[in-house]
Structure 1
Amino acid sequence: MAEGPKTQMPARRKARKRALDVLYEADLRDLPPAQVLTTYLARLDRPLPEHIGYTTSLVEGVAANLDRIDELISSYAEGWTIDRMPTVDRNLARIAVQELLYVDEIDDAVAITEAVELAKQMSTDDSPRFLNGVLGRIAEYATR
């Protein structure tokens, strides 16, 4: 039983990375995330990895809640509009806010840490600090 959380974390991180890939492509191509998700899933080898279910729920959740998520990010990203943010950061923030607000089984600290870790790998040197600050403020708001 002790192995459960260890095996889930890498799977969830992979799921977040795949969700980022889909949301990034949808953002760049100005397409609905569900449409990009469908073509993304069609390109994957079968059987699909187990974490794809979480990827799908993240993408669908972000798509369903996009206006509210973007409104929060814009409100708490002091001095930044959603459109001025790097595409990677914007979509990492969207995934994390989806988890903060709508995924009860993910702790706020985990959602923030995961976004920051992916930003370290995939974005600018300033991105981890920026995301940590914005997401921390949103998490404070969400727990009120």
Structure 2
Amino acid sequence: MKCPYCGFLQDRVVDSRESKEADSIRRRRECEGCNRRFTTYERIDEIPYMVVKKDGRREKFDRQKVLSGLLHACEKRPVSAGKLESLVDETETFLMDSPERERSTTEIGELIMNRLKMLDTVAYIRFASVYRDFKDVREFKEELEELLTAKEKKRS
């Protein structure tokens, strides 16, 4: 915590008290540079992380919804629950790192697909078919051909 008097970055907490409403914590701090005391208040961050849908609507980020989609894509595939949980954590961190507290479904979907591609190509295709909303077999085939071409380039 930066001292409001001298700008020093080191302090110590002298006293902590919960507010009467229990929605914040009041802390008395003492600067280790100038020894002056000041008060800070800590509150729970209640602004939700938002996802901007393709049609412009905004909705709260739902970890369970992402995990559910990944579980469907990885059904009967050799992908551990731990890896899926890790991917959901990474997705949530990606959203939390946004200065505007929101990300588009396009950004989130691309992140997930790139990670899934490294974990399991079949799960990647399953996820992509739903995410990209393939209209017909041709679009599905094009995605498979891109995947095969990338795999052949990797081997060369």
| Pairwise same-fold verdict (TM > 0.5) | no
Greater relative contact order (Cα < 8 A, sep 6+) = 1
Higher-Rg member (1/2): 2
Which protein is richer in strand relative to its size? 2
TM-score scaled by length of structure 1:
0.32
Q: What TM-score, normalized to structure 2?
A: 0.30
